Chain A
Amino acid sequence: MTVKTAVNLRRISQLLFFLVFFWLILKTNFEVNFTPENVSNIQLPYPVSIALEFSPLTAMGTFLANGTVFKGLLWSLVILIPTIFLGKFFCGWVCPLGTLNHWLSEFRSERLSRRGLKKIESNRYKSYQKIKYYLFFILIGAALMGVLQIGLFDPLSFLARSIGTVVLPMLHHTADSINSFFKSFGFPPLSSLSQSVYDTIAPAILTFRKAHFHTIITIGTFFLAVLVMNRIYTRFWCRGICPLGAMLGLFSRYAIFGLEKNAATCDNCMKCAAHCQGADGPEVTEKWRQSECVLCLNCLDSCPNNSLTFKFFPELAGAPQKPSSTQKIDITRRKTIASVAGGLALFPLFRSSDGFNVNPDPSVIRPPGAVPEDDFLARCIRCGQCMRVCPNNALHPTLFEAGLEGMWSPIMIPRIGYCEPTCTLCGEVCPTGAILQLTQKEKAGDENTPPNRVGTAFIDRSRCLSWAMARPCIVCEEWCPTSPKTIYLREETVYDSNGNPVEVKQPYINPDLCTGCGACEYACPVIDKPAVYVTSIGESRSKENQIILQRQGIG
């Protein structure tokens, strides 16, 4: 196989894996033309979260944090084990975020491009590249204590979250605005064309219900920053931040597959150094850094003298310095220990704040089937798959509602969307078991099984039409899905502003029956601050967060 073929194979592999990843996020969606086989227990036709299960960082982090490896995470061994022998092929050939960074690093305008010596300098190893290793150790330290922050930086969760909650919703809004822009002229052929194009792409690309996500400006800014940084440093994220890259770098330290340099034929043109994606020193005068290399093969491709080859058991004596091995990873033992200790310290920092259990935020309504909060935080990687799949747009990323520790973890905002009583899709797509996959029966309950509760509804009598304004309504009662209804009515005579008696039915909540689904809050006509609202109290997953005497301590 020639070097050109190998480089083209790498490009095809990158494109393919990127498209598969994007497609899986796109398909994390209850499509309108999807006809499930079993209508009473609707499940998506594909395992859409499988890509996320290939991350060794997620597997290791969740294992350290909660002591278990959740079902599909064993897939990550498919990445990890070959890395030990081959090096970081994942970064250069597979990782969709790496691919995105690769493309954007290559894509520069003529004026801003780094060429010649500047380009060589730009692709030389820099000391900021060790940040990723320390970040990795901090995250591992935290995970040891059950504080899982890995998802913020794992490239697969990072990209899934960014695409699912920012890129795709933006695409939807853009498509809608373009369509309505062309239709706004009232010029029939134009609007007709626009509408037919829209109707063609909509079922394939857009969700049935247009999504609006809470706090995605923070997710979007982070994502944009990572993309933009490629203009300043090639693959800035991969070289400097990515803790998965660091983990794979550590594992590939003694890989048997590597770069062999032939000093005899090299004429020091430095083309290899100019095109290096990993900034790993492929040139003869440098010691090669195995742990930084992403195996993109650009060095081989750009070498005019064929002085470089990748092979098993390469001779590493090409570099002028001793010892005759690859460059050691640029980290110190002392700082590594300090990083792990810093990570460990996140646990007392986060848990001694008031948010966790002591003063829980009432808006932290977790998805149905979510495990208890400490376990939840030890599992959730903030991939946003639950938010993406929720057919009612009920699940949203938090900002600080669940504390800094729970940033971008999912909560339900019933005002925007309620929890559909028969829906179990969020549990189905969760890759780490933070949300358990409930059966239809476990979700909605029956005579013998209690339903899964995410909270309890409350009436705000000062805002309720029939309590405060002498007007009929009962919309909350109409929408209440429990049987018998959680919201019950009592007929009362109240008086309007003229003193005339008005018969109204005033709503009450029966907390024994309420599941906290939030249909009442969603439907309440007092739209800005609903007169009936749900808070997390009474949630099935918590022993402490209860009001009813019979449920004290039994969960």
Chain B
Amino acid sequence: MERRDFIKKTGKALALAAITGGTGFAFHNFDTAHYSVPAVKKTSFSIAPDSSFPQIALAENVDHAAALNRALDALGGIKRFVKPGERVTIKPNVGWDRAPSQAADTNPVLVGEMVRLCFAAGASSVIVSDISCNDPRRCFLRSGIREAAERAGANVILPTDEDFITIDLKGEILTAWPVLKYFVDTDRLINMPIVKQHSLSSCTIAMKNLYGILGGPRNRLHQSIDQSIVDLAVFCPPTLTVVDATRVLMRGGPQGGSLNDVAIQNSVICATDQVAADARASEFLGLKPENVGHIALAAKSGLGQIDYRAAGYKELLS
């Protein structure tokens, strides 16, 4: 190659690089740092306690949306949890390819109502996402959650590999793990579990539902299930926990399938104390919370009150 040729070609390559870079700059949106690991300002989404409100309330109503509103109002209403302009991420349980009646996934009526409430309180955006076990396309469709959430205006996200960031969770068991970014790069996190039996952890309710924000080899966590659940609960305590106990999966959990295993309870628990929420909800399964490993461990770690009555438990029966 001639020197002249070399210089010409190098020049062309540089010009091309400059054009590419320039175009990139022109299109780049400097506001949202979605190109790299988002600067996670905080992972605790919990709000300051307010002694004028109980930390946990349960409402029972055959109208499930009404039950949610009633329990939430007892805690001070949605405006206490979502401020205008905030970004909210809702984490229902969309783990399995099951219909709402089978009680394996969170009641879509509650998810839709929660989205509506967040927007009513002025949220700038509401994301609904979960890392499903079964094919997420089927889970979000059959559970009815995609339809309910989208109808209420939420952005339903089915995660792909691109959506994970690896974060040091600073737990006893959980250290560096891939986490779905929408659950940490947000202003408010609302955990919306459903109450189900589980063969290893006895029950899967609020804290266990946070497993769904993790990618990676989740199937290894069972080897230290109690500690890993508590690690997660310490890592990202949600702003609000809304437990769906409208239908409770008594057996065959966490996937269920048979309607014979479902108990109709028509109840919704709202709580700022996730341990208290788990403690109260575990009673639907006939469990004593102090016998449930992860609930007892969480209480011991000072994460919340296992004696939910001491947390000002309020019961609103219809």
Binding site for B on A (CB under 8 A): 30, 32, 34-36, 39-40, 42, 176, 183, 186-193, 195-196, 198, 208, 210, 391-392, 420-423, 465, 471-475, 477-485, 489, 505, 523-525, 527
Contacts and interface: CB of A to CB of B under 8 A. Distances in A.
19 contacts: A35-B146, A40-B142, A183-B36, A188-B35, A188-B36, A189-B25, A190-B20, A192-B29, A193-B20, A196-B27, A198-B162, A208-B136, A391-B138, A420-B138, A471-B223, A472-B222, A472-B225, A481-B96, A524-B219
A474 B199 CA distance: 7
B75 to A, nearest CB: 32
Contact of B141 (A35, A465, A523): A35
Interface string B12-32: 000000001101110111100
Given A32-B137, A191-B35, A478-B200, A483 B220 contact: no
Which of B25, B28, B35, B158 has most A Cβ within 10 Å? Answer: B35
Q: Classify the interface of chain A: helix, strand, loop or mixed.
A: loop
Contacts of A474: 199-200, 222
A265 B83 CA distance: 89
B94 to A, nearest CB: 14
A208 B199 contact: no
B252 interface: yes
Contact of B28 (A30, A189, A391, A392): A189
A190 B21 contact: yes
Contacts of A391: 135, 137-138
A525 B252 contact: no
Interface stretch (B110-118, B230-238, B253-261): B253-261
Contact of A423 (B138, B252, B256, B261): B138
Contacts of A465: 223
Contacts, number: 120
Contacts of B217: 525, 527
A100 B257 CA distance: 49
B200 A192 contact: no
A480 B104 CA distance: 13
Give the 5 A-B CB pairs with smallest separation, nearest first: A483-B257, A189-B24, A193-B24, A483-B258, A525-B219
B293 to A, nearest CB: 10
A359 to B, nearest CB: 34
Which of A187, A392, A483: most chain B CB closer than 10 A? Answer: A483
Q: How large is the interface on B (under 10, 10 to 19, 20 to 34, 35 or more residues)?
A: 35 or more
A69 to B, nearest CB: 33
A30 B137 contact: yes
Nearest to A188: B35
A173 to B, nearest CB: 12
Contacts of B256: 483
Nearest to B223: A471
A422 B199 contact: no
Contacts of A208: 136-137, 158, 160
A183 B35 contact: yes
B97 interface: yes
Interface of B: 20-21, 23-25, 27-30, 34-36, 96-97, 99, 133-138, 141-142, 144, 146-147, 158, 160-162, 198-200, 217, 219-220, 222-223, 225, 252, 254-258, 261
Contacts of A473: 200, 222-223
Nearest to B157: A32
A524 to B, nearest CB: 7
A475 B219 CA distance: 6
A484 B258 contact: yes
Contacts of A36: 141
A192 to B, nearest CB: 5
Contacts of B257: 481-483
Contact of B36 (A30, A191, A471): A191
Contact of A479 (B30, B158, B255): B255
Given A189-B27, A478-B198, 20 more contacts: A35-B141, A35-B146, A39-B141, A42-B141, A189-B25, A190-B20, A192-B28, A193-B23, A193-B24, A208-B158, A208-B160, A391-B135, A391-B138, A420-B134, A422-B138, A472-B200, A478-B254, A481-B96, A481-B134, A489-B199
Contact of A392 (B30, B135, B142, B144): B135
A551 B310 CA distance: 58
Contacts of B134: 420, 481
A505 B222 CA distance: 12
Contacts of B161: 176, 210
Contacts of B34: 192, 195
Contacts of B133: 479, 523
A40 B222 CA distance: 32
A187 B223 CA distance: 40
Residue from B36, B141, B255 with most neighbouring chain A CB atoms (10 Å) = B255
Contacts of B160: 208
B89 to A, nearest CB: 19
A192 B35 contact: yes
A36 B146 CA distance: 12
Nearest to A189: B24
A40 B99 contact: yes
A322 B138 CA distance: 68
A481 B96 CA distance: 9
Contacts of A192: 24, 27-29, 34-35
A198 B161 CA distance: 13
A480 B222 contact: no
A478 B219 CA distance: 10
A32 B27 contact: no
B200 A505 contact: yes
B255 A420 contact: no
Contacts of A196: 27
A478 B141 contact: no
B252 A483 contact: yes
A271 B158 CA distance: 59
B129 to A, nearest CB: 13
B151 to A, nearest CB: 12
Contacts of A190: 20-21, 24
Contacts of A527: 217
Contacts of B97: 420-422
Contacts of B142: 39-40, 422
B13 to A, nearest CB: 15
Contacts of A176: 161
Nearest to A422: B97
Contacts of A191: 35-36
B181 to A, nearest CB: 13
Contact of B27 (A30, A193, A481): A193
B252 A484 contact: yes
A523 B219 contact: yes
B219 to A, nearest CB: 4
Contacts of A475: 219, 222
Nearest to A480: B255
Contact of A186 (B36, B99, B146, B158): B36
